[in-house]
Amino acid sequence: MRTSESKRYSRSDMVRERARLREQGQTVVFTNGCFDILHSGHVTYLQFARQQGDCLVLGLNADASVKRNKGPLRPVNDEQERALVLAALECVDYVVLFDEDEPATLIGEILPDVLVKGEDWAHYVSGREVVEAHGGRVVLAPLVAGRSTTGTIERIRQAYG
Protein backbone atom coordinates (compact mmCIF):
# COMPACT_ATOMS: atom_id res chain seq x y z
CA MET A 1 0.00 0.00 0.00
CA ARG A 2 1.31 3.42 -0.96
CA THR A 3 1.71 6.06 1.72
CA SER A 4 0.21 9.53 1.61
CA GLU A 5 3.62 10.93 0.75
CA SER A 6 4.14 8.50 -2.14
CA LYS A 7 0.83 9.54 -3.72
CA ARG A 8 1.92 13.18 -4.09
CA TYR A 9 3.39 13.92 -7.51
CA SER A 10 4.88 16.95 -9.23
CA ARG A 11 3.35 17.83 -12.59
CA SER A 12 6.29 16.47 -14.55
CA ASP A 13 6.36 13.24 -12.53
CA MET A 14 2.62 12.81 -13.06
CA VAL A 15 3.01 13.23 -16.82
CA ARG A 16 5.63 10.46 -16.79
CA GLU A 17 3.42 8.30 -14.56
CA ARG A 18 0.49 8.88 -16.93
CA ALA A 19 2.58 7.55 -19.82
CA ARG A 20 3.34 4.43 -17.76
CA LEU A 21 -0.34 3.97 -16.92
CA ARG A 22 -1.28 4.38 -20.59
CA GLU A 23 1.19 1.64 -21.54
CA GLN A 24 -0.48 -0.63 -19.00
CA GLY A 25 -3.91 0.09 -20.47
CA GLN A 26 -5.18 1.73 -17.28
CA THR A 27 -8.20 4.04 -17.42
CA VAL A 28 -7.11 7.28 -15.75
CA VAL A 29 -9.72 9.48 -14.10
CA PHE A 30 -9.05 13.12 -13.22
CA THR A 31 -10.89 15.49 -10.95
CA ASN A 32 -9.91 18.68 -9.23
CA GLY A 33 -10.81 21.11 -6.51
CA CYS A 34 -9.77 22.99 -3.40
CA PHE A 35 -10.94 20.41 -0.84
CA ASP A 36 -10.25 22.94 1.90
CA ILE A 37 -12.18 21.39 4.78
CA LEU A 38 -12.80 17.76 3.92
CA HIS A 39 -16.38 16.60 4.54
CA SER A 40 -18.65 13.69 3.60
CA GLY A 41 -19.69 15.36 0.34
CA HIS A 42 -16.05 15.42 -0.76
CA VAL A 43 -15.49 11.79 0.20
CA THR A 44 -18.63 10.64 -1.62
CA TYR A 45 -17.62 12.67 -4.68
CA LEU A 46 -14.08 11.26 -4.72
CA GLN A 47 -15.34 7.69 -4.30
CA PHE A 48 -17.70 8.24 -7.24
CA ALA A 49 -14.84 9.64 -9.33
CA ARG A 50 -12.59 6.67 -8.52
CA GLN A 51 -15.30 4.24 -9.63
CA GLN A 52 -15.11 5.70 -13.15
CA GLY A 53 -11.75 4.04 -13.94
CA ASP A 54 -8.65 2.25 -12.72
CA CYS A 55 -7.01 5.13 -10.88
CA LEU A 56 -7.85 8.65 -9.74
CA VAL A 57 -5.63 11.69 -10.21
CA LEU A 58 -6.70 14.61 -8.05
CA GLY A 59 -5.64 18.06 -9.18
CA LEU A 60 -5.44 20.16 -6.03
CA ASN A 61 -5.63 23.95 -6.18
CA ALA A 62 -2.53 25.45 -4.59
CA ASP A 63 -3.05 28.04 -1.86
CA ALA A 64 -2.70 31.08 -4.15
CA SER A 65 -5.27 29.63 -6.53
CA VAL A 66 -7.72 28.95 -3.69
CA LYS A 67 -7.30 32.51 -2.45
CA ARG A 68 -8.02 33.92 -5.91
CA ASN A 69 -11.06 31.66 -6.37
CA LYS A 70 -12.53 31.66 -2.85
CA GLY A 71 -11.37 34.93 -1.31
CA PRO A 72 -8.73 36.22 1.11
CA LEU A 73 -9.81 34.08 4.08
CA ARG A 74 -9.30 30.83 2.26
CA PRO A 75 -7.88 28.29 2.31
CA VAL A 76 -8.42 27.37 5.93
CA ASN A 77 -5.93 24.50 5.57
CA ASP A 78 -2.77 25.04 3.55
CA GLU A 79 -1.94 23.06 0.42
CA GLN A 80 0.46 20.68 2.16
CA GLU A 81 -2.14 19.76 4.81
CA ARG A 82 -4.86 19.34 2.20
CA ALA A 83 -2.60 17.21 -0.01
CA LEU A 84 -1.63 14.97 2.91
CA VAL A 85 -5.25 14.40 3.96
CA LEU A 86 -6.45 13.73 0.41
CA ALA A 87 -3.58 11.38 -0.38
CA ALA A 88 -4.49 9.37 2.71
CA LEU A 89 -7.87 8.50 1.18
CA GLU A 90 -8.02 5.03 -0.33
CA CYS A 91 -9.94 6.26 -3.37
CA VAL A 92 -7.26 8.80 -4.34
CA ASP A 93 -4.26 7.39 -6.21
CA TYR A 94 -2.36 10.58 -7.08
CA VAL A 95 -2.40 14.19 -5.87
CA VAL A 96 -0.93 16.94 -8.06
CA LEU A 97 -0.89 20.62 -7.05
CA PHE A 98 -1.61 23.31 -9.62
CA ASP A 99 -1.30 27.09 -9.30
CA GLU A 100 -3.61 28.20 -12.09
CA ASP A 101 -7.18 29.34 -11.43
CA GLU A 102 -8.47 26.31 -13.31
CA PRO A 103 -6.88 22.98 -14.27
CA ALA A 104 -7.17 23.10 -18.08
CA THR A 105 -3.40 23.16 -18.67
CA LEU A 106 -2.77 20.32 -16.20
CA ILE A 107 -5.57 18.27 -17.78
CA GLY A 108 -4.00 18.87 -21.20
CA GLU A 109 -0.67 17.59 -19.89
CA ILE A 110 -2.12 14.46 -18.24
CA LEU A 111 -4.85 13.72 -20.83
CA PRO A 112 -7.08 11.59 -18.61
CA ASP A 113 -9.53 9.11 -20.09
CA VAL A 114 -12.30 10.36 -17.83
CA LEU A 115 -12.81 13.85 -16.40
CA VAL A 116 -15.16 14.07 -13.41
CA LYS A 117 -16.71 17.24 -12.08
CA GLY A 118 -19.65 17.88 -9.78
CA GLU A 119 -23.01 18.35 -11.47
CA ASP A 120 -23.04 21.92 -10.17
CA TRP A 121 -20.37 22.58 -12.82
CA ALA A 122 -22.43 21.20 -15.72
CA HIS A 123 -22.38 24.69 -17.31
CA TYR A 124 -18.57 24.66 -17.56
CA VAL A 125 -16.07 21.85 -17.13
CA SER A 126 -12.49 23.08 -17.45
CA GLY A 127 -10.54 20.77 -19.74
CA ARG A 128 -13.62 19.21 -21.35
CA GLU A 129 -12.53 20.09 -24.89
CA VAL A 130 -9.08 18.54 -24.68
CA VAL A 131 -10.34 15.37 -22.98
CA GLU A 132 -13.11 14.82 -25.52
CA ALA A 133 -10.79 15.70 -28.43
CA HIS A 134 -8.53 12.83 -27.31
CA GLY A 135 -11.38 10.32 -27.07
CA GLY A 136 -12.07 10.75 -23.36
CA ARG A 137 -15.35 11.47 -21.66
CA VAL A 138 -16.73 13.83 -19.05
CA VAL A 139 -18.83 12.50 -16.17
CA LEU A 140 -20.85 14.73 -13.87
CA ALA A 141 -20.99 13.52 -10.27
CA PRO A 142 -24.12 13.88 -8.15
CA LEU A 143 -23.87 16.24 -5.20
CA VAL A 144 -24.54 15.34 -1.59
CA ALA A 145 -27.30 17.66 -0.44
CA GLY A 146 -26.43 19.96 2.44
CA ARG A 147 -22.68 19.30 2.32
CA SER A 148 -20.26 22.02 1.27
CA THR A 149 -17.17 23.68 2.66
CA THR A 150 -18.99 27.02 2.75
CA GLY A 151 -21.81 25.38 4.74
CA THR A 152 -19.31 23.80 7.12
CA ILE A 153 -17.60 27.15 7.70
CA GLU A 154 -20.97 28.80 8.31
CA ARG A 155 -21.97 26.14 10.87
CA ILE A 156 -18.65 26.69 12.66
CA ARG A 157 -19.23 30.47 12.67
CA GLN A 158 -22.72 30.04 14.08
CA ALA A 159 -21.53 27.66 16.79
CA TYR A 160 -18.39 29.56 17.82
CA GLY A 161 -18.98 33.12 16.61
For residue 1, name the pLDDT band (cuts at 50, 70, 90).
low
Structural contact between residues 116 and 31, judged by C-beta atoms closer than 8 angstroms: yes
Structural contact between residues 104 and 126, judged by C-beta atoms closer than 8 angstroms: yes
**Rounded alpha-carbon distances, angstroms, from residue 93 to 64, 73, 97, 156:** 24, 29, 14, 31
Query: Is 3.90.850.10 the CATH classification of the domain at 5-160?
Result: no
Rounded mean pLDDT of 44-61? 98
Structural contact between residues 148 and 125, judged by C-beta atoms closer than 8 angstroms: no
Q: How far is CA 33 from the centre of its chain?
A: 4
pLDDT tens column, 120-157: 878 899 999 999 999 999 999 998 777 777 788 888 88
pTM for this predicted structure: 0.92
Ranges of each domain in the chain? 5-160
| Nearest residue to 7 (alpha-carbon basis) of 55, 78, 47, 41 | 55
